[in-house]
Amino acid sequence: MSLVNVARLDDLRAGQPKLVEVGGARLVLVCVKDEVYACDDVCAHQGGPLSQGKLSGVRLACPWHGWMYDVRTGECVMPGRGNRVASYATRIEGGTVWVQVP
């Protein structure tokens, strides 16, 4: 595991998912209240870009067919058939967002 600097906190807007690349992988960052969450950007259904989806609270909807993910865990909550995307621990220090990646 390693911590990777992925963004400045100032670059994140509440309710606005942000795409970042870490070691060639696409992750989506979302800011909900005072927390920042990180998940894989690639939808478990057919690969839609979650960073272009719509955020409602902690639920991020894929723009292609509407599957919804809990950004805190990466779990698909709708249709909720056990699908998920990977989620990653985050840390905010001095206005910098860090993500713990394998």
Considering only residues 1 through 40, tell me which ones interact with ligand FES, judged by CB under 6 A: none
Q: For residues 100 and 75, what is the distance between their CA atoms, to the nearest angstrom?
A: 18
Kindly state the smallest distance separating residue 82's Cβ from ligand FES, in Å: 15
Kindly state the smallest distance separating residue 97's Cβ from ligand FES, in Å: 25
Compute how many residues bind ligand FES; rule: CB under 6 A. 10
Q: List residues near ligand FES by CB under 6 A.
A: 43, 45-48, 62, 64-67
